[in-house]
Structure 1
Amino acid sequence: MNAPELSHATWRKSSYSDADHNCVEVAFPWHTSSYSDAHGNCVEVAVTERVTSVRDSKDPHGGVLTLTPAAWRTFCAAQR
């Protein structure tokens, strides 16, 4: 299995980390959505088994919308 490209991933400390610095970090590889356009109106998505996260690429430290797989499918279907 090839290792994923994580140079642009966002790393977050896992809730399983403890106060003794036994920390686990998880990466969310963000990808520009095919719904983005050439005028800088970009949406990035990070897909995991349990959730799909969506953010504005112009504000990567801003808010993130997190959806269940079913909600993400419904959202994408509504965009067609």
Structure 2
Amino acid sequence: MTDLTGAVWRKSTRSGDNGGACVEVATNLPGIVAVRDSKNPTGATLAFTPSAWSTFVTAASADPADWPMTVTT
């Protein structure tokens, strides 16, 4: 289990006022980027390497037409 003591959580500046439906990210811990649901701050978290997080953010920021997968809801 990853020790998240001292994590400084922040929401995206693009979150806006959407009723809390967003994620929070902590990037101040050595060697990991932690992600959690802002509606459940004591719930589960995901931990990524900084490289994996950067790859994800780059892909998520791309035009959906360029994504290598199909997203369904």
> Which structure is higher in RCO with an 8 Å CA cutoff and minimum separation 6?
2
| TM-score of Structure 1 vs Structure 2, range by shorter chain | 0.5 to 0.7
Which has the larger strand fraction?
1
Q: CA deviation at 1:35?
A: 4.5
Larger Rg: 1
Normalising by structure 1, report the TM-score. 0.61
* 1:30 alignment counterpart: 9
Q: CA deviation at 1:42?
A: 1.7
Which has the larger helix fraction?
2
**CA spacing shift, 1:75–1:65, aligned 2, 3 Å:** same
**CA spacing shift, 1:35–1:66, aligned 2, 3 Å:** farther
**CA spacing shift, 1:61–1:44, aligned 2, 3 Å:** same
* 1:50 alignment counterpart: 31
Q: CA deviation at 1:37?
A: 3.7
Specify every segment of 5 or more residues in structure 1 that has no aligned partner in the other structure, as ranges. 1-13, 15-25
Q: Does 1:59 align with 2:43?
A: no
CA RMSD of aligned residues (A): 1.6
- Structure 1 stretches (4+) deviating beyond 3 angstroms? none
Query: How far apart, in 2, do the equivalents of 1:35 and 1:65 lie?
Result: 20
Specify every segment of 5 or more residues in structure 2 that has no aligned partner in the other structure, as ranges. 62-73
How many residue pairs match? The answer is 56
User: Which of residues 51, 57, 66 in structure 2 aligns to 1:76?
Assistant: 57
